[in-house]
Amino acid sequence: MHQYMYSKTRGGTPNRYRLSEEDFMVLDFPIADDDQRKKKSSEFEKSLTKYDREVKKAERELIKSHTDIEIEL
């Protein structure tokens, strides 16, 4: 996909790397069957949930560390 994206570049601005809707309609990517798509979708959703949970945990730890530092000062 990355190589295809560069082969479809146009213009001289950073936007030149964006594919148009028409480009995506003619891409010849392999199409997975429904079971594979559902499995990958489920794995992706689990990964996003885990990522979100870890980010929130890190935010809580950061706030706690700032609170601890303020108390010590």
- At residue 12, the pLDDT reads 54
Among 45, 43, 5, 12, smallest CA distance to 27 is for 5
- At residue 32, the pLDDT reads 79
- At residue 9, the pLDDT reads 56
Q: Give the separation between CA 67 and CA 73, rounded to whole angstroms.
A: 10
Cut 0.75: pTM above it: no
| Domain boundaries along the sequence of the chain | 1-30, 32-73
Q: Give the separation between CA 8 and CA 27, rounded to whole angstroms.
A: 11
pLDDT in tens, the chain (73 residues): 566 666 655 555 555 556 677 777 777 777 778 898 889 889 999 999 999 999 999 999 999 999 888 888 7
Helix, strand, or coil (residue 20): coil
Contact 40, 32 (CB under 8 A): yes
